Structure formats: C-alpha cells, structure tokens
Structure 1
Amino acid sequence: MSEYFSKAAAFAQNAAKLSKKMSEGLVENAREFGLEATSSRHYFDTSEEKMRDIKRQLDSRHDREKMDGLKRLIAMISKGRDVSEFFPDVVKNVASQNLEIRKLVYIYLLRYAEQEPDLALLSINTFQRDLTDQNQLIRAMALRVMSGIRVPVISPIVLLAIKKCVTDLSAYVRKTAAHAIPKCYSLDPSQKDALVDIITTLLNDNSPFTIGSVIMAFDEVCPQRFDLIHPHYRKLCKMLIDTDEWGQIAIISLLLRYARTQFLNPNPNSNNERTVPKKKSKDFYSDEEDSNDSDDSLDESFSLDPDHELLLNSCIPLLQSRNSSVVLAVAKVFYHLAPSSEAYKLGKPLVRLLHSHRETQYVVLANIATMATQRPSLFEPHLQQFFVRSTDPVFIRDLKMEIMTLIATESNITGLLRELQEYVKSPNKDFATSAIQAIGRCAIGMPEMAESCLNGLMKLLWSKNDAVVAESVVVIKRLLQLRPQDNVDMIMQLAKSLDQITVPMARASIFWLVGQYSQNLEKVAPDVLRKAAKTFTTEADVVKLQIINLGAKLLSLHPTDHTINLITQYVLNLARYDLNYDIRDRARFLRGLVLINGKKENTGENVEIMETSQSTEANIILTDSLKRILLCEKDAPSEESPSAGRDRFTIGSMALVLNHSIPGYEPLPDWPTEKPDGSLRDNLDETWNRSQSIKGFGSEYIGNYARSSTFEGSFTKKRKDEYDLNRFYDSEESSSGEREESSGEYQF
C-alpha cells in the first residue's frame, strides 16, 4: 500500500512540472506576439519598476503592448495620479494606425495638453492631417481633440478646422464641429464674430442628427441673436420630432424663448388663471373617446398666430416620449406659451412620469406643485395618482400631499379627506402630523368644508399618539379663528382634554383659545386659569407665556373680581422669578398694564399705587382700551403652500426645484406689447424633407408612430381638432400595434 502512495505522489509531481513548463512556454510565445497575459491589477500598480515597464511598453513595436501601457496610464489618471512624465512617449504614438491606440492617446492629450503646451503643439500637424482622412470617425476625433486642447495659441488653427468641418459630407463630423464651437469660444472669446458666421452656416443644415448640437452652440455663443432663427423657425419646428432627445430639449428651450419675444400673449384676459374654465378630462386609464371636443377652445377675442400654433402642434407628439426631460420641456412650452384652455393636455403625460425613479418623481412633482398653484384644474382628474404609497420617501410624500390639497375641489374633497384620515393612522409620527396639516390646509382653502374637517380633528384628540393630538390642537386653533362666533363647544372640549394633553405647543394653543374667546366662557375660563396656576412652575416656557396672557385677559374682562385678581397676581409673582427672561419681561409688562388701578403685590405687602391728577386720567383711558389691546380680533390664518414662490421661476428649471435663484438662471422674456413682424419667418427655402432624417435617435416608438399615415393625417385637421393622446395609453394598441410607414411629408 505504501508503494502505491509513493507512485501516486511521484506522478502528481511530474504532472505539476509539466503544467508549469507548458504555461511558461505559452507566456513566452504570447510575449513574442505582444499578447502578454496580465491581470487588471497591474493597471493601478505605481511602483518604480512598473513605471519603467510602462515606458518600455509605450516604446514597444507591438500594438498590444502599447495599448496595455496606455490603459495603465489612463487608469492612473482616473485615480488622480500625475503621469505627465510620460507625455513625450505618448505623443510619439499620436499617428498610430491603430484606432484604439489613437483614442487612448487623445484621452491622455486632453488631460495634460495644458501642462505641456509645447509638446502638445507637436501633434497639431497630425490632427490637421487627420481632418482629411477617409474615415469620418478619425476626422471627428481629430477635431474633438484639437478643440479640447486648452492652449490659446492654437485657437486660430481650431477655428480653421471648424470652418473646414462644417461643410463635411458626414453629419457626424458636422455635429462634432458644432460641439467644438463653444470650446473655441471659451478658449478665445475674440473669435465670436467668426463663430457666429459658422453657426449661421450650420443653421442651414437639414440633418436632424446635427441640428440639436447647432442649437446648443447657438445658446452658448449668441443666445439673443433671434434674427438668425427667423428664417429657420418653421424648419426647427418640423424637425423637432426627428432629432435626438437631448437635441429636442435644446431646440424646445430656444423656441420657447423665441416665441416669448415674437408672439403675443395668448391669455390676455386671464387675470386669475385659477378661474379659467377647465377642459373636461377623462379618467387616467379610460379608453372612451371624448365626444364633446370644444370647438371654441381658444378665446374668440384672440387669434393665435399660425407659427405660434405650429410650435404647439409640433410639441404634442413629444408628450409621448420615454425621456422625462423631453416631456418636462414640452410641459414648459404649454404652460408658458399655450392658451389656458389648451394646457389640460399636460396632465396625463406628467402624471405618467410618476412611475419612474424617485429622483425623477421629485423633480416632476415639484413642477406639478408649482403649476397647481396657478392652474389646479390641470391635475384635478388625476387626484388618485397622487395618493401616497407606503414605499414613498419623505420628500415624495410631502410633495404629493401638498399637491392633493392644492387640487382639492367640492367634487373630490370627500374622497381626499377620507384618504388623509387613513394617513393619520400611520405609526410614523411625521407622516401623521403632515396629514393633519394637510387637512387644515384643505379646510382653510375651502371654508365650506371647515366644519367637516373640525369634526374629524376633534375626534383625534382622544388618540393615543401624543404627536397626533398635539398637531390636531394646533390645526384646530387655526381653524377656529375662521369661526369666531361658533366655537364655544369645541373650545370647551379642548379645555376638558388639558389633563390628557402633554405636548407644550398643544397646551399653549388651548390656553390661547380660552383666553381669546373668554368672553363666551365666563364659567370655564376662570377655572382653566385656576388649574393652570397649580402647574405653572412645571410648564414649558411657551405654555407659561400663554397662561400669563390668559390671566391678563380675564382680569381685563372682570377687573372687580377678587378671585381672578388674586390668581392673576399669584401667576405674575411666579413668573417674576422665572429663569426665562422673556417670561419675566412679559410678567412685568402685564403687571403694569392690568394692575394700574388696583392693588399690586410688592414684596409680600399690598401697597396703594400713588397717582397724580394727570396720571388718573391716563389710567382711565388705558383701562377703557384694555380690552381692545388684549382681546383684539386676530386675522384669520392664511395657510401658505410650501411651494409658494416657485412660480417666479421657469417650469423645468433647477431654480424652481431648489426654490431660489442660481447662477446661470435666466427668466423668460416678457411678452411683447405689440405684435412683431412675422414676415421675417417667410424667408425659408422650403427644401427640407423628412426623408433626410436619421433614424435611431430618440424614441423609436415616436419615430414609427410619427411616420404612420394616422399621425400625418392628424396634422391636416383644423386647429380645433385635438391630438389624441389616449391612443398612447391604450395597452392593447401599444402592445400589438405595428403601424405602416409613410414616405410623405408632414402637413402642418
């Protein structure tokens, strides 16, 4: 048996030696062909030996080793390592015939060209030669790198390269030239006039693949030169659906600013947009056709400019885009440009975006909340889409409840209150208190529902959740101010619950209510003061202040009542030695205000107040005015929306989401008072054909649907016919509908 094991061990040893020799042979053969097998860890190895190895690889005659060395350099750059010492070795490979090596060299050059401007200039000749290469990728890459090298001395060379590429037969190269324009402008602003001429040339481009980049360059170099846009306005509107998604956003932003300066306000008589009659909308998933299409959707007294209407009609198909930024950009156009009666088309597409990621939801909800403050009718039919889900984070939840309160109407308030009552039962205290605040906003916004909301909130006073009880009392206090003549019973119920309520703000609110309406609580108010005097020293500061106010108000109503006088003096004496200086100051002020004609306690003795003949008359006047001073009517509260102030910003802007102005934000221009000359837009040579468009960019569904005969026919209708967005939400058609393509042009 031992002999058997010894033979097995010898066999295993020989096999290991043979395997080692085979692997060494493979490595040597791979090294000869430049295919050395290495792990990815060596890309981040920065030892001196490895640095010498990288230099050897860059000088190698094998493309595989050069590529491996360049990858290691790029990996070090990504880690923040300074590898500018290899600049001469990298520049030598700038003319390599291997396209992958060129890409890596270009990445390295863009990183270190500013540090080594003299060496970077050595590669300029290579880039200029590449501009005439037969491969469009090489031509575009050469221009991209030239424009990315931040060396001011080469700006004239870059300008010449851009001028050469704007007439290139390849749309991809022309697009790259458009991207190079802002880079050249930031490098040398003195070249602005020449760059504007180049942009003017590029605006004549008929490729949807290029036009988006041209508009981006226009916004960077000369955003106010609308005279360059006049002859291309209609072309931009018609090309909008065929451009890529980010190009669509750029074009829509430009056309929005253009329209605000070239067309008249379509809502000249809408002083209060909240009262604009709303278009009757169907349920979110309804497939029924709207049989009552309004023929007078536009104001009869206002005639919409055909070019203005062309922009709105061109944007309608983009409401079906899968890109949320595109949908939001179209919403911006309709909100700021469309007649109020046409803005209802925004509701369903924006609600559809709420099924995306939470970050997108937050941005969309912030914009919806802003629009709902002025036009709540846009989202009234979609109330249920804003109901809070158990998985919603706090920032989504708060915005949804805010929107629900903004779009509350007589028809949906019952269901909304029922939903908010369910939220109050949540074990999450913050969520429950937010729901109670929402109920209060509904009651303040709709006074006719205040009684129903108050009854529901009064039931919450017996909740086992202290936070719910406290917030309910605070909201009830605000609501009772709206009903000053009919609140005695509720205040009495609140006074009875003082023994169970422990939250300071809630107790302070109850004491304020008892004191403010003590004229109607002649028997209850003094007893509340008596009980409050017993617990004064253990109360919170905010409660102590309201107890002092309660005593002063009762004494102003009953100046001759000996019991109230003694209790008030007792409370004021306790407050006189309180640790909080606000309470001490308040007590000193109220003592001098309400005890001027009586006896006041001073160091434990009753001393008559010394009065002169002049002060007696002043005291009488003050006594007569005491009730008006302490018991004056308080203005009813007006609950302000948390999104208040956002409406001063443009829809879809970052400033709106953050609710404050940020660098780079520019407000929309004001509407012109007189109609500008529209003949400037008639200079367009109508030679653009949709068959020149490039497929494969933007939403594939939109492209197929846009080329269908159904879609083209919809634009031949009159303005009063509305674009059917419900087809987009029909699950049966969207899952099986293959539409035939048509080669015809749009007919706007």
Structure 2
Amino acid sequence: MSQAVNSNDDYCSFTLPSDLSQGGLPSEADICKDLESSSAAVKRGALKAAIMAMLGGEALPRVLMQVIRFCINTEDHQLKKLMMLYWEVVPKYQPSDAGSKEKPKLLPEMILVCNALMNDLNHPNEYVRGSMLRFLCKVKDFEILGPLMASVKQCLEHRHSYVRKNAALAIFHCFRLFGTKLIPDGAELMERFILAETDICARRNAFLMLFNEAEGIAIEFISQNVDDIMKFGEGFALLVLELTRKVCRREPAQKSRFVRVLFQMLSSDSASVSYEACWTLVSLSSAPTAVRAAAATYSSLLSSQADNNVKLIILERLEELKKKHSKVLQEVLMDILKAIASPNPDICKKVIDISMPLVNSRNVEEVVTVLKRELLKSQDSDLEKSSAFRDMLVQALHSCSSRFPDVAEGVVTTLMDFIGGDGALNVVIFVRAIVEQYPELRDGVLQTLQNSVSDVTKSEVMCITMWILGEYCVEAESIQSAFDDVMSELGEPPFIVVEENKDEKKEEKEPTTTTKNVVLADGTYATQTVYSEPTKKDMEEKMSGLRKLVVEGDIFLCSILASTLTKFCLRMNKKKSMVVKSLLTLCGFAQVASLKGSSQKSAAVDSHERISLCCRMLLDDKTSDMLKETWTEKGKVTFSQLLGVMKEKKERESKSEEEGVVSQADDLIHIRQLKSGTAGGGDIDLDDGSDLLRATGAQGGGSGLDGLKHTYQLTGFSDSVYSEASLVVNDYDIKLELLLINRTPDALSINVELSTIGDLKIVERPQMRVVGPLDQVTLSASIKVSSTETGRIFGTIVYEKASGEKGYINLNDLHLDIMDYIKPATCSDEVFRSFWAEFEWENKVAVSTTITDIHQFLDHIVEKTNMKCLTPVQRDDGNKSLFLAANLYARSVFGEDALVNVSVEQKGDGQLTGYIRIRSKTQGIALSLGDRITKVQRKVEEVVKEESGEGGGGGEGEGAGSGQ
C-alpha cells in the first residue's frame, strides 16, 4: 500500500504494481524524455515511474508540464487511467513560505488540467465520462471542482446509465465536501433526478445522497413510493432499512411511517434484504406480530439458504429471539427443525440447542417424530457426522422423554434398535434412566433389553445392561427369564482356553464337509465336495457377544455378571438349580480374574474379592441374610438419588445462564432520548456498545489496567529509538500498536520490519514514518491468527538520519498468550471420555505448590487456566477428604478442545502431591497449557516466599510434552 501526502495533509492511498527493473526509478530528466515519445507503452512506463517517485516523496515539478503537453489529449484508455492516478498524487498548490498563514495558491498549470478534465466529462465515449466522474469522487479541491460542476450536472441526463450513476456519486461527493457553497440546488437536483431515473444503480446512488444530506426529502420519497420500494433493487432497499433505523432510534414516533415498508421487505426475493428487515423490525418493536413475522422469515431463510455460514448467522439471531420471545418461536419450531437435515454437525448442534427449550406438550410428538426420523437416517455409516450426530439426537430424545412421559415409550422402542451399534453407550444410559423414572414402562423395556443382549458388543454397554437386569427384574417370571437368557449367552464354564504345548500331539479335529454344484469347462454339471477344518477365527465368530467379552478377559464385566446372578438368586430365595449354575459360573469368573489379570492387578484383585463375596452369599445363609437388603434394594435408591442430583445440577446451570449478570449495578445507563442527535448518538443502535467492544477486543469492560497487561517493552531506554507494543486480541485478529519515541536531536526516517513464527500471518505492515527530534509516533500492524499453536512476533527497527547514517535496533520477541484464545466450555462426561481416548498429545505436569488446601489449589488452577470444572466437588462435607480428582474443559476460539485432569493427594505434612495431565488434539495447546500451569505454580511459590521473608526464586517445575 503506497501513500502520498498533499499540502492539506490529506492521504490518498492505492496500490500500483511495478514492472520496472531492479535498477531503481529513472531520473526526472529520463521521465520527461520518455513522455515525449510517440509510443503509448513508453509513456505509460514513464508516467508510472513518475507516480511511484511521487509516492516516495519526490516532487518532480518538471514532469507536470510534460504530462500536460504530451499525454493530456491521448486516446489510450490505460494511459488515461494512469493520468487520473497522477492527478491524484501530483502537488496542486504552490509551496508556501515557512510560518506563512496565507492559504496556498493553486498552480497555474492546474487551469490546463481542469480544461482537460472538462473535455473528458464531455467526451462522447461513456466509459471515459464515467471514469472521470469516478475520479472526481477523490478530488477535494474547491478550485478544481468548481469549474467542472456544470459538466457534471449535464452528465445526469446522459443516455447511458453508467454515466448517470457515476454523476450522482460525484455530486454527492462534492455536496458532502462543500455543501451549498458549491452546489446550491444539490438536494432539489437529486430529488428531480431520482423521480425521473429508471436505472437501479443510479437511483440508489441518488438516494444515498438524500439519505446523508437531505433526510427529509428521502423520508418523503419513501412515503410516496411505499408500494414500489421493492422494485428499486436490493441496494436501494438496504439504504431504506438503514434510514429506518437511524430515524426511528432518534425519533421513536416515526416508527409508524416505516412499519409497512418493513413488512413488505420481509418477503423480498433478496435474502440480504429479508435478513436486514427482520432484525430491524425486531430492534424497533417487540410486539408479538412483529416478532412472529421476523421469526417466520428467519426460519424461511434457514431452509432456503445453502451456505452453512449464513445458516449459523441466522441461528444466532433465532437464539437471541428465544431469550425474550420463546413463546412466539414455538410457533415456528418445526420450520427451524428442518435445518437438522444439514450435513454440517455444527448446524445440527445449534438447531438442537435452540429447539429443545421450545418443546412443549403441544408440539412434543411432532418434534420426537422428526428426531426419530433423523436418528434412523444416521445409521448410514458413510455420513461424516453420523456418530456425533447420533449422540446429540439420543440426548435430545432423552430430554423430551424426561419432560413429557407420554412420549417415553415410543422413544425407548426406537432407541433400543441402536443398542448394538455406535452410540450404544448413550442409548443404554438413557434406558437406565427411563427404567428408574417410569415404573409403568419397566416390564416392556426389560423384555426388550433381554432380547437385545445378543446384539451388544461393547463392554461398557454390557455392564450397564447387566446392572439394569439385576436391579429391576424383581418378579419371579422376569427373573427366571432374564437368568435363562444370561446363562444362554454365557454358555458353560470354563471361560479360559488352555493352549496346548507344541511337543504334545494335537488332537485331530473333524473336518467339515461342504457340497455344492459346479459347471465344468464342457458345460456339464458336477458335484464338488470341499473339506475344511474349523479355525480359531471361525470359533470366535460363533461365540455370543457376552461370552466373547468374558473369554477375552474382561474382569470388570465378570464382577458385574457375578453381582447380577447373585441378585437373581437372592430374589428367588436361593432356588437350588439357579444357585448351582450360578456358583459354577462364578468359579469360571474367578479363574478368569486370576489368570487374565496379570496386566490389571488392582482391578483383578478387586474383582476377585467381589466374586468371592458373591459365592459366600450364595453358600452362607447368615451372610446372605445380612447383606440381602443392601444387595437388592440399596442400588436403586442410590441411583435414584444420583438422578435427582443430576437434575438439580442441570436446573441450576440453566437457571444461572438465564439469570446471568447482564450488567453491573454501577454501569452507566444509556438513555437514548437524552442523547444529542447531532453528536452522532442517534445513529448508534442499542447493541452497538457491545459490538464496538467486541470489535476493539475490549470484551471485558476494557479498563486502562487491562490494556497495560498486554503492553510490552521492545527496546531499551538507552537506544536511539524507544519502542513499546500494545496487543489487542480479537479472536482471529491481532492489532499491534507500536509506540516509537525518537530520543535523538535529529529527525529520523523509521521503518519497523516485523516477522512471525508459527501460525501467524502479517496482513498489514507498519508504514515508514519520519519522526522529528524528541518526537513520538504510533504505528499499527494487523496480524491474522489461524490456530493456538505457539506463536512469536519479532523484528527490527531500521532508522536513517538526514546525513545518511543508518542504524538498526533488534526488538524483543513477543510471545502470544494462549489464555487470550482459551474460553471455558462445558461438555458431557461421555464426550470428555471420548475426547480423552481420541486425543494424541499429552503433557504431564507434576504438582509443585505451597498451597495446602486441595479445593483452593483446584480453584487456583481453574482461574489461571481459564477452564471450567466439570466434576462436582463437595466442599462443605463434614469429613475433609485428602484426595481430589477433577476434570477441566475449555475450547479455543478456533474450535480446538483442551482437556485437563487434576489428581491431587494431601500428605501427612500438609503438602500436595500428584499430577496434572493435559490432553489436546494439537501439540501447541498441550505444551502451552503445561507451561502456563508450571508458571502459575512457580508464581505461587514466589509470592509465599516473599510474604514469609525468604529470598530466592522458585524452583523448576516439572513439565514434559510427549506426542504419541
């Protein structure tokens, strides 16, 4: 980006590609000589060199007359374009004496330039006329524009619409700069023009001037042409909406004049007009009719637009409407749910989040029907979103059935078909809750669950299934049926396959015979017999899912099965045949626990003890009488309490979200009616305050102290140029403001060269500036961020004195703080566990802190890492625990997940020991969070030492990043 400064300190900026050789720009004499050439190509090269030299600060006074003599009457369009750029950057005024207060005088040569501009304005070619009119929109000199206004007005009546629309823009530009001084009849001229104009773009440009400079005429035009507004084009309609917001916020009594127009624009063929009309209508009126019309339009746009980003924006608007007008949105709930068919999982999640709170007794059946239909579609494993989407649908159905018992039975029947596939864990957890909450559905669900045992292939799903059968099969008939089904799936013990020694003679297994008809080469038929021996793979495929899991050594499942069989026997009063079969099976489980548990010693010992206790209960009447009630009844009671706690937690979280602090008690109250309309306050929307804060990165209220936290010293105090940087982080963008102070008695030409390491890209570099003696200047740079990987900004200050002496100063590196991108988030325990198993990068940090309270340490980690604790922690119980294990979760603004597990133990001397494990999908988050935790632990140690009077810094913390 090149810049030039004229005598009025006005900047004109444009890009100009250079095809010159690396030898540098030609001299002024060479440029003048080339301009005399008869070749248009040579003239273009010379003129381009002159422009670039002027942008670099050269005056080139001789070139102006050469351009007027040899280029001003050219018919070459490219050369004419370059001449417009030249007229923009060329000095137009005579240099004034230092200290003189007289206004600079226009150069005499500019009279010839004005004559050439007027010739182009009257040119028979409409392209030349239109280009010159566009060029006049950049001119800010009254002496140049004054003689041209008659020709500009004539262009308003040109036959070609390209000329007319650019003429309207030129008049708007001139009227905005000089008002009635230059164009006394500007507003009336545009009013007559817009009434007679038929071109959409020209009419829009004319209305743009009335909108900004003659608001009363613009409002009157809208009132007289209400029925024809939609015929004037998309750009015109957007201007009408902007005018509506501006006027109605300044004068609320004017709303009635625009309501009819707004309702017409809701049905516009243009999606942008409909969208803008929706939120304009809602921002101006909270009447149910207006909100209902806006919601219907939003839902229509949601179904008609194919762009996923557009759908997400519309869903955000619907979410804002839901906060204040949830009853109105219930009427269009089914239209919103149509977007759930989108292949994008983010859109599906957003739709479900918006829709679930809107479900009521009147629409719950229709909502459940849609969710079940989508759940059946998700069985297609080719879909990229199938697994995660299925989990969301299961949770949504669970929410509907929990709130509305009438649909629970149909939901359970549908979900039971998925108990053997992906997402089965969520399904069986849902079934477990339904069985406890709705006793009237219990018999049918248990029977369906028994029939589905053979379809279960995952261990965790089988464990929950066996627990449900053991807890809720209480009738003799259901117990016997469940017992027979479980034993049939398990088969006869033992469950250990003993491998034969190589030296021993293996018994020959009988081969299997397969007979089939084949066609020979001569076309005749023959019978072919194939002999094959059974393989280990064939034998495993014939096993049921339950027996296969036990044979593979699932020790925990064995203990669950032992507990289930014991409950069956206790409820049947130790029926002899049932007890005998159970004991034989338990012995087989004990053998699995003793032989297969070498790699899981603690789990094997625990499971072995549980199986032994089950055997004692089946053999010893005294033990069984003592533990029967606890074994058969307390499980349901505890699970019921757990469901109650989870329900209270969910209600508490939803209530806290709804009743969150919107503003502080001492915040300023903005009263729109008391704002001055001329001060610009009338043009600001009610939500513009928060929008401006987000745009500038000051999301937290933005005190001066917060800004100082992101200010860094780049050079030393003894350097010729002192510099410090201020970082303003706004999600994907970083604005870097550089303060440069010239500490020398000479004027310096300063250029700051910046570079980055990591996923950072410099979008806009600081411009070279001349800083006076002991003066200062502020430069800015824009940097784009693409991920939370470790990033660094470094560079050099290059300065040059008037004598030609150059100097270089290396800047201190700027490290980006990952906490600017990490935001607290929430996820379910199942999602956390799946992420924990999926993510590859782990960083393990040892706990090294002077904090002696476990809960205080957890609060410290949560605060400093900007994460959310997912594990409910009991703080006010009577027995103080010496152990703590908690899961923390956060998401970056780029959608990256960060998982932290804190495991802490308090020793006898009060010191805390343990580890903090960090997992993420990328290495950058794992390492950066580990460094952050190590840093805050060291800081705590230093603070404690300072308070206690001890000297020295903190020791090195442990932290290692490992990639699997």
Give the TM-score normalised by structure 2.
0.36
Report which of the two has the higher share of strand: 2
Give the TM-score normalised by structure 1.
0.44
Report which of the two has the higher share of helix: 1
Pick 1 or 2: higher relative contact order, CA cutoff 8 A, min separation 6: 1
